[in-house]
A and B are shown apart, each in its own frame.
Chain A
Amino acid sequence: MKCGIVVFPGSNCDHDCYHILKKVLNQETHWLWHKDNADLSSFDLVVLPGGFSYGDYLRAGAISRFSPVMNSVISFAKKGGKVLGICNGFQILVESGLLPGALMQNHTRKFICKNVYVRVESTHTPFTQECSDKSVLQIPIAHHQGSYYIDPHSLGDLEEKGQILFRYCDAEGNITDSSNPNGSVSSVAGLCNAQKNVMGMMPHPERCADPLWPNVDGQSIFKSLITQS
């Protein structure tokens, strides 16, 4: 699988994603610089990594979506190319309109950095097909603007089309208010577009995918993508 990792000014999880894809999972992996209008036609996957692109000024992801590389990413996605946005990458995807809804300040008004549990809500996507349905993954979050918002009508639409891929839950997989760390609507932690080739999630699977660390729950997402290509 040929992977590209986009580097924005302020990206800080780009090397983690590169490490997992290239060194742990042995995939051909390239950097994509934000100023380049790159030709992505030969790529199988583009990752928008976590971080604080453009300092999160105005709103997280608001400035990055106008980077030259995003024109390439948007046309890549429109042609069916797979795009994975993690944390700040998810924020950029909603700002660019590739994913519906918006990401707002956490309801606690604090930056939250901790391990959380998410439940796999759909396995019929290239991002989750290696996961077991309703399985619980432990993946860390680290964000200040991760509270997912969408109007109730569109939320129903997402449910119906199986676009909600991950929900925050407790260790047993129960969706409760106390297991929702940031006040996201319907505990949404990750979702995909209707075509199922663009996925955004707030938790960081690249931070739990190297076997040097006891938790490798994040691997199932990358492995799903590799199996697919």
Chain B
Amino acid sequence: MLAQIHVTFKEGVLDPQGKTVHHALNDLGYDEVLDVHIGKYLEIKLDSVSEEEAEIRVREMCERLLANTVIESFRFKLVSTE
């Protein structure tokens, strides 16, 4: 099983990289770009674990280490690799 995890800044936390890319896209003429958020994407391969267990354990991994929940939020998807 594969956990596909996205970690991004919470709403209201300044994202200087996102802001710079936003300006760059506007400068290139993409006026429709309203906002850009840059985050992290992680892929974690899991072995011998049920989907229910994986759901609990991946959430725990995010809360304990992968995201700093003071400034970041996370979401993930579990994908079967069989």
Contacts and interface: CB of A to CB of B under 8 A. Distances in A.
B34 interface: no
B20 A109 contact: yes
B66 interface: yes
Contacts of B17: 105, 109
A101 interface: yes
A159 to B, nearest CB: 18
A59 B70 contact: no
Interface in A34-79: 58-59, 62-63, 66
A21 B66 CA distance: 35
Chain A interface mostly? loop
Contacts of A101: 70
Contact of B66 (A58, A66, A94, A183): A58
A202 to B, nearest CB: 16
Interface in A89-117: 94-95, 101-102, 104-109
A33 interface: no
Contacts of B14: 104, 107, 147, 149, 183
Contacts of A94: 70
Given A58-B65, A58-B66, A62-B65, A109 B71 contact: no
Interface string B40-72: 000000000000000000000000011010110
Interface residues of A, number: 19
Most buried by B among A101, A104, A108: A104
B16 A102 contact: no
A149 B65 contact: no
B16 A95 contact: no
A228 to B, nearest CB: 30
Interface string B1-28: 0000000000001101100100000000
A59 B16 contact: no
A104 B15 CA distance: 9
Contact of A95 (B13, B20, B66, B68): B68
Interface of A: 58-59, 62-63, 66, 94-95, 101-102, 104-109, 147, 149-150, 183
Interface of B: 13-14, 16-17, 20, 65-66, 68, 70-71
